[in-house]
Amino acid sequence: MSTKAHWEQIYSSKQVKSLGWYVPHIQPSLDWVKALKLGLDTPIIDIGGGASTLVDDLVAVGYQAITVLDISKSALSSAKARMRDKAGLAAWIEADITLIDLPADRYKVWHDRAVFHFLPEADQQRYLNTLRCTLQPGGEVIIGTFALDGPDTCSGLPV
């Protein structure tokens, strides 16, 4: 099964709130972004943000240049439905981060709480190349991964 098909199956067959990684507010990530003390027009991208609630919280704080990228159309649809009329305050990209070409020097903040730890080494290198190209000089990177003594698998995939 392809990576996209895997995540489509997960997000189309389960309620988002029942997923093991779901939290109503990703407070550490929000706190880290706020601690950067950047303008509300700072371009932020949330990699694998799909059904995550970080976009809701960033919009609530007043950030105006948020992009959510996820491989799963179902995850993105879930987030847009949850946000209702506020969904238009973010840009939504359905894509595989290891395959997409994003604009150079576009984002000041790169956030990932859900993708990097699933990638095999070859894909990690493509991910890092995209990050380097897309992040503005002096940009900030927030990546959450499993600890070295964490689980070997998550959602049926190796980590």
Q: Is the dihedral of CA 55, 131, 65, 69 positive or negative?
A: negative
Looking at residue 18, its pLDDT comes to 64
The DSSP symbol for 50 reads T
What domains can you pick out in the chain, each with its CATH number?
26-144 (3.40.50.150)
Q: Parallel, antiparallel, or unpaired: how do β-strands 157-158 and 153-154 relate? A: antiparallel
Q: Model-level pTM greater than 0.85?
A: yes
pLDDT in tens, the chain (159 residues): 798 998 888 888 877 776 766 677 889 999 999 999 999 999 999 999 988 999 999 999 999 999 999 999 999 999 999 999 999 999 999 999 999 999 999 999 999 998 998 898 999 999 999 999 999 999 999 998 877 787 776 666 666
Model pLDDT, residue 145: 80
pLDDT of residue 100: 97
**23, 34, 77 from 14: Cα distances, Å:** 15, 31, 13
Report the alpha-carbon distance of residue 14 to residue 74 in Å, rounded. Answer: 10
Count of Cβ atoms closer than 10 Å to residue 31 Cβ: 9
Q: Which two tokens stand for residue 57?
A: 């919280």
Which amino acid appears at position 117 of this protein?
H
Which of 57, 55, 32 shows the shortest CA–CA distance to 140?
32
Q: What pLDDT is recorded for position 129?
A: 97
